Amino acid sequence: MITSRKMPGRKLLFGVGLMVGLTALAPVADAHGIWFAQRARQLALVYGVGADDLDAVKRLPLINAVKGFDAQGLPVKVSLRTAGIVPVVDSDEPVAIVTAAMDYGLWTKTPDGEWHNKGRDEVPNATLAEHNWKYAVHLTQMPTKPVPLIEGHTLQLVPATTTIPQKMGEPFTVRAMYKGKPIAGATIMSDYVNDPDEAGVKTGPDGTATIRLRNQGINVIMAIYVGPADDAKKADHSEYRSSLSFVLPHAPE
């Protein structure tokens, strides 16, 4: 069971330009992300991309933390329990926000095109090395106040306001937060489940991007950002994927 637990002037401009370039150009070892979705009336943690819903149970050891919060933003004890082929959320209290963080580890690509779950220090002939991190935030109810920044989530996607439109096709502005601050150049995909090949839109200087809600049901919005490596000897960069998911109500049956 898993429980919750400056540089001035021209140098700054060069640094920002370099990171935007990395975001746009760097290949990715693993296009999969994590998000929460309902499975048989239970909230499950999903690992996948598009319709490829892969074995999240096998990857539970890679989950660093799962956390819950009530409607006031106060912590609520939650855990993940294996239920057949999926891990589901358990809590004895009402939960308004559920989050998870996954360290997917170091991956290197060799000249033959194969990926290896090792750092560059272990694969001397690697053509690319990266560290993959995956995060998920799920809203079980529409927020009435700003969604809190989650400790341990290096990249987080939050609604830019406390109001989420309730109809498919309506515009929705989100903000990408990197290390607690708005980040420009993050890619925002509006429908990670049904359109995994979507090019997405880039966040502006204030970290925001406006998309249109794609589904009158589950919406899984994904932010992707490539940042500096946490250990340059093992990786060329770190790649972060952070989902924001929620459900828009359908018409009464």
Going from N- to C-terminal start, the domains of the chain cover 2-247
Determine the Cα–Cα distance for residues 75 and 70; give it in Å rounded to an integer.
6
Kindly give, in sequence order, each residue whose CB lies less than 8 Å from that of residue 172, ignoring residues fewer than 6 positions away: 159, 164, 165, 210, 211, 212, 213
Count CB-CB contacts under 10 A for residue 103.
Answer: 13
Residues 174-219: tens digit of each pLDDT:
999 999 999 999 999 999 999 999 999 999 999 999 999 999 999 9
Reading the block at residue 106, the tokens are: 């170091």
Residue with tokens 């994927």, as numbered in its chain = 241
Let me know: does 56 contact 39? Beta carbons within 8 Å: no
Q: What is the pLDDT of residue 30?
A: 62
pLDDT averaged over the chain? Answer: 88
pTM: 0.86
Angle at 203 between CA 105 and CA 52, to 5 degrees: 45
Task: State pLDDT tens for residues 20-30.
Answer: 344 333 444 46
Determine the Cα–Cα distance for residues 118 and 144; give it in Å rounded to an integer. Answer: 43
**In the chain, which ranges are continuous DSSP H helix?**
9-25
Question: Given CA atoms 89, 92, 95, 101 in this order, what sign does their dihedral have?
Answer: negative
What would the two tokens of residue 114 be? 């194969």
pLDDT at 8 over 80: no
| φ, ψ for residue 16, nearest 5 deg | -65, -45
Q: What integer is the mean pLDDT of 50-68?
A: 93
- C-alpha span between 224 and 205 (Å, rounded): 16
Structure tokens of 100? 């998870």
Q: Give tens-digit pLDDT for 147-156.
A: 999 999 999 9
